[in-house]
Chains A and B, each alone.
Chain A
């Protein structure tokens, strides 16, 4: 019981350091999560809690019309976004990090340029890209036409075939600087003599990247993979800002975050606020993300040790 020996002043000092953040976290993180758990078991009328309905809200959103088809469609979009972002956001991020680590001329400028979009607010990114992709005034289609690809111009955000991919690419553009930075830090931590040794042994560039650098940046990969996973399944801002809360056009950009939001809080086109089903969705999103990322983190950590 070493703490009994602490002088009173020190104890108060420690308490003042711990208590405010603890109270804050309890009030604004733990309590809302716990109350969402409770809310999910009730039927709601507006903001009025009515009857305890057990697991009904959960089975509704997973199994029954009209909720289930929307839930699964939104979920499949989250999965697609996650897979594509793994390739183009984390993949390109790794390649950029490797290129930057080579310290080619101008690498300082490029390091800033790659990271710059990350510091922009999503609202600005959404606004700018909505303008770029605008079918009439948009820069993107104009450039395509000028370059002689006029037949490829299309209302990118208006077609169900392209809208989700356009949003995904914008997201990758916005965030690619983050995995780049993490991978770059990982690469720079590799002792130079290891790479030197490899070069002396005559490995080619591909072998260097795939057999030496990639395994040694495994801790960076863990961080970027898990954060991307969490981000992809909680995706909300960009689709909300660029495609609207309905996931326009006709649900082709609908993701779980949007579905949760309009179920719980309603919108202009539906009077109903449904906290019961909304909370059930939120709880399941939370559990899914928490459980999968926990399992995956453990596996990725094990991988770090295995391949290090």
Chain B
């Protein structure tokens, strides 16, 4: 028995040792999934400390894939950070809904309502309409192209879909793979739809989907998928595209083996890093006929939130106020190459400026913004649906019907 007691005592002592010490006034724990940005963040904190010299911030980063799990586990056990990066939309709601995050409004973060509506939507809980995080960057779905390969084939960035098909034809004739895109990595089947088809779908389609006037069997959606399918059938995607995964796609484009990459603005920095000599530019998804509105797909990446149970809320609120300032926005955009939604941010990088310009005409990155709240998420359905369609195993109409059927299991407007 004595041995047992000793053991118990030792166990208790060990548990006490691993108990974290709650942050006291003047100390903030900051969590993120961006380990690679640590140096820049330490620099941000220095800026923050100019006006708030008494606050000591510790930076902790976690692996992106596991971040939501780590964070929600910590929050559920009252061991979370004081200030943290949170994702947007569904993943954000998983944290906000149980009440882990502090509500932000004009009284504690003056100016927050001046942020672009599209970015605030990502950090607003749909059930109470309140904001819980300061948005930090948006991502844009568009087409990135290699200007040298375009010049070599004698083609210009297309405006209409027919022009795009013509461009692909000429590139192919010049021995250049038109698109680096492949379908082996599931989520790349969602990005390609938004990057290439947004202008054809249009804002009205998005509004109709949200109001329930239309579902994914709508002609606009099915026809757009059909045109994407024709691109694949004409061999304008990567060779053996069904086996081409995301890293290979990136390699094909950054090494100059393919002329276009339909994807996210977050690819720009890695492309340049992989090949600093790469000459590239961007264009928004082509329109069906001249005069139609040209759109990119847009979504919010995430935001900065304060723990509702933090022992040091006052300093936490000061920090997110700094994150909402133009001083931070400018530096965040121009050192990390991100599209900060802070009102009035100036982009020094011309490419970033161009993407910001394209962002003015946008529709949502549809499934993430509207249908990533429940299972099966619209994203999962679209990804596997498009993957299957491009493999020749389903027609565009069947794909639209399958997506509608999946979402209808929880989305009332689709239940007919």
Contacts and interface: CB of A to CB of B under 8 A. Distances in A.
A274 B243 CA distance: 31
Contacts of A137: 248
B338 interface: no
A19 B8 CA distance: 10
Interface stretch (B91-99, B131-139, B262-270): B91-99
Given A248-B186, A269-B380, A155 B242 contact: yes
Contact of B94 (A157, A267, A273): A273
Contact of A45 (B98, B187, B240): B98
A269 B194 CA distance: 15
B239 interface: yes
A159 B187 contact: no
Contacts of A23: 7, 11
B4 A155 contact: no
A155 B372 contact: no
A47 B183 contact: no
B299 interface: no
Contacts of B89: 271
B391 interface: yes
A250 to B, nearest CB: 4
A271 B92 CA distance: 8
Contact of A66 (B92, B97, B183, B375): B375
A46 interface: yes
A134 B374 CA distance: 34
Nearest to B402: A250
B94 A251 contact: no
B185 interface: yes
B379 interface: yes
Given A48-B98, A271-B372, A272-B373, A244 B186 contact: yes
B248 A136 contact: yes
Interface stretch (B286-294, B346-354, B381-389): B381-389
A265 B160 CA distance: 42
B49 interface: no
Among B183, B241, B243, the one with the most A-chain Cβ atoms within 10 Å of its Cβ is B243
Interface in A3-48: 11-12, 15-16, 19-20, 23, 45-48
**Would you list the 10 A-B pairs with minimal beta carbon distance, nearest first?**
A271-B90, A155-B243, A158-B243, A158-B242, A135-B240, A135-B243, A270-B377, A250-B384, A46-B94, A271-B91
28 contacts: A15-B3, A16-B7, A23-B11, A46-B97, A48-B76, A66-B409, A135-B239, A135-B242, A137-B248, A155-B244, A158-B241, A158-B391, A246-B186, A246-B380, A265-B69, A266-B91, A267-B65, A268-B187, A269-B383, A270-B90, A270-B375, A270-B377, A270-B380, A271-B92, A271-B94, A272-B94, A273-B68, A273-B94
